[in-house]
Every structure is written in C-alpha cells, then in structure tokens.
Structure 1
Amino acid sequence: MSDAMDAELRIDAAEQFKALGHPLRHRLLFALGQEPATISQLAVALNTRKGNVAHHLGVLREAGMVRVVETRQVRGGTEQYYQRTARKLHFSPEGEKAAAGAILQAVAAELDHAPETLLLSLRNVRLTAVQAEALADRLQSIIDELPDAGPGESRYGLLATLYRPNQL
C-alpha cells in the first residue's frame, strides 16, 4: 500500500518548525511513523475530531512532513491514506531546542492515553563532557539499531534525551 519512507528528513525550514509547534501534529507524526492511516482512523486513534485531524495534516503536508500514499473510493467519496515522509526526523541543535517543548507536550499527551507505561525515569548525574558524549552516542546507537517487529505488533514510543540543566 505505502510508498517507502525516506530514511531521514532534515528539519530546518520555517514551515517545518511551525508545523512542529502543536502537540497534536507530533502525535500525528508518531501515529504515521509505521503505517499509513486515514483521517477517520487517526481521529479514532488520537481521540479527536476528524476536522481537527484534517487541519493539522494539512499543515504537516504543506511542510513536507506527511504525504498521501494511497486513495480509495468509498461510498461515493475518496479516502486518503497519509504516511510520514521519513522514518527519522533530524534536527539541527537549534531546531531541537525550538521543538523540544512541543515534543514533550506531545509525549505527555500520548502518556495520558497510553494503556501502560513500561518506563519513566529521570535522573541527574554528574558526568564529564567526554562521558556525556559517550552516553549520548550509546543511547543513539541503541535507538538506531532497534529492529522493528513489523505490522501487527504493538507500537511503543521511545524518547531519549541527555541535557545539561542550568547549574545551581
């Protein structure tokens, strides 16, 4: 059914940052990361109105972050299947900071509706710059090398961040 997703999409244009400025758009991107879905399917999955989904998909489509991968005729209308354009979104360091708030809001909204949470952990630890860089590389490797179990298996969200908070 679906066109193959690009491996990576670089987020660096103003319209892309605007598109990422709303938590529902992040949730749509999460939902469309594995398989295509219609506006109706997304509305049910995300517990929101179809008109709301259609509006936000339009913004994401204009920003080149989702695309229509199939259309079907159903009961006198046309049903469109949307999919994310890339498996991974790559942010510049400035872009990560610009999108962080909306990303965290979207993850919080996903957690509110999640049937289970397997892990939520926050820890502050003192590291050297070399240790912090090695840890970031290790976490990224774990994420990049994690195999997808394929269609039919449950979708899990994974958020990893390593940041240096303001010093007291």
Structure 2
Amino acid sequence: MTDEMVDRLEISTAEQFKALGHPLRHRLLFALGQEAATISQLATSLGTAKGNVAHHLGVLRDAGMVRVVETRQVRGGTEQYYRRAAKLFDFTGEGERANTAVTLQAVAAELQSATGRPMLNLRNIRLTETQAEELQARLDEMVHNLVDAGPGEARYGVLVSVYRPQQPEPTHPTDTAQLTPPN
C-alpha cells in the first residue's frame, strides 16, 4: 500500500465534526490507526454488519478522514482497502468538547469488547496548576513517543487524560477554610 497517511489533519469543519458524531466512526478510525483494511475485515474486528461499516466509512470518506488506498478484484467484485487520512487529528474550535463525549463512548465500546483485562485507572487528586501542567506534558510526551511495533503485533488503545472537573461552589464559610480537628 503506497498511499501513506499524513502526520496531522486539522478537524475544524462542521462536516468533519458531524462525521465524528457517532461512536462507531471513532472505532473505525481506531481500527484504521496503522493499517488499511476492507469493509469485511473491519466488520469482523468490530463485531458489526458490513453494511453498517460501509455506511460509516462513507461518511468518514466524505469528510476527508479516510480514503481508499487500494482496490483488488476478488470473486467478481472489487474489494477496497481503507486507510485513515492522518496519523493524528488536531481539533479546533467549539466542536472539540462535543467530540470528547462521543470519543469516550467509542472507548467504552472498545473496552467492553477488549480481550484480556484492560487497565482503566481514574483518580481524583488535588494538584497545583503547575503540577497538573507538568503531569499533562509528561503523559503527552510518553504517549506520543511510543513506537509502533509493526503489522504483526496486536493493536492496543491508549487513552490518557488530565482534566480539572467543575468545582463545587462553597456553601458555607468553613468550606473554603482548612478544617482543623478538635482537640
């Protein structure tokens, strides 16, 4: 397959964000992360119907997020191999936050169908802004520096997030002060 992915694709149009509005489309992008695949291969690996995969690939193709990179004649028909348009998708504008919820739905579906015991670790901890920025930078660097082991190896999903949840409003003056234990 000679049609290589570009490094980055900016996701900024309404059509692109709409294309990402369904969890299965995210899962298709996950599955096409490194290798091209046919509709049949994708349907089998994702446990869904070929017609469903074909529809969602068409939406992603129309939005410029996947493309056909090879065709082969098989048993009187034409088999198409699809590949992601880019290794990384950069999100801009208002749609980025809306996309997060759908992405997490797709990851939840991936975790439910995962083999073995997937690691999922959620922790809430108090950090200074500087500590949070340093943690985010280290995790980002660690994930982006991972080197793909090649086509013969199993595909793994890696999800990393550092976020600051909405903080509750103090309802009582002591809520903002450090409480001291009684003597």
Query: 2: CA distance between counterparts of 1:120 and 1:93?
Result: 29
How big is each residue's C-alpha offset from its partner over 1:56-88, in whole Å with a ceiling of 9 and x where there is no partner?
000000111000000001111110000001011
Q: How much has 1:128 moved relative to structure 2?
A: 1.4
Q: How much has 1:107 moved relative to structure 2?
A: 0.4
Equivalence for 1:167: 167
Equivalence for 2:124: 124
Matches within 5 A, 1:1-168: 1-92=1-92, 94-168=94-168
Letter in 2 for 1:4: E
Q: How much has 1:92 moved relative to structure 2?
A: 2.6
Letter in 2 for 1:55: H
Q: How much has 1:10 moved relative to structure 2?
A: 1.0
Q: In the superposition, relative to structure 1, how do residues 141 and 18 fare at CA in structure 2: closer, same or farther (>3 Å)?
A: same
Q: How much has 1:93 moved relative to structure 2?
A: 6.3
If the length of structure 1 is used for normalisation, what is the TM-score?
0.96
Query: 2: CA distance between counterparts of 1:129 and 1:93?
Result: 24
How big is each residue's C-alpha offset from its partner over 1:90-130, in whole Å with a ceiling of 9 and x where there is no partner?
11363331201110000000011101234110001111111
Q: In the superposition, relative to structure 1, how do residues 117 and 88 fare at CA in structure 2: closer, same or farther (>3 Å)?
A: farther
Q: Is the 8 A contact 1:65 1:86 kept in 2?
A: yes
Q: Is the 8 A contact 2:111 2:118 kept in 1?
A: no
Query: 1: CA distance between counterparts of 2:6 and 2:129?
Result: 33
Could you say what secondary structure the match of 1:80 adopts? strand
> Structure 2: where are the runs of 5+ without partners?
169-183
Q: How much has 1:48 moved relative to structure 2?
A: 0.5
Q: Is the 8 A contact 1:2 1:36 kept in 2?
A: no
> Structure 1: where are the runs of 5+ without partners?
none
Q: How much has 1:133 moved relative to structure 2?
A: 1.2
Q: How much has 1:7 moved relative to structure 2?
A: 0.5
Taking every aligned residue pair, what percent have the same amino acid on both sides? Answer: 67
Aligned residues: 168
Q: Tell me which stretches of 4 or more aligned residues in structure 1 moved more than 4 Å.
A: none
If the length of structure 2 is used for normalisation, what is the TM-score?
0.89
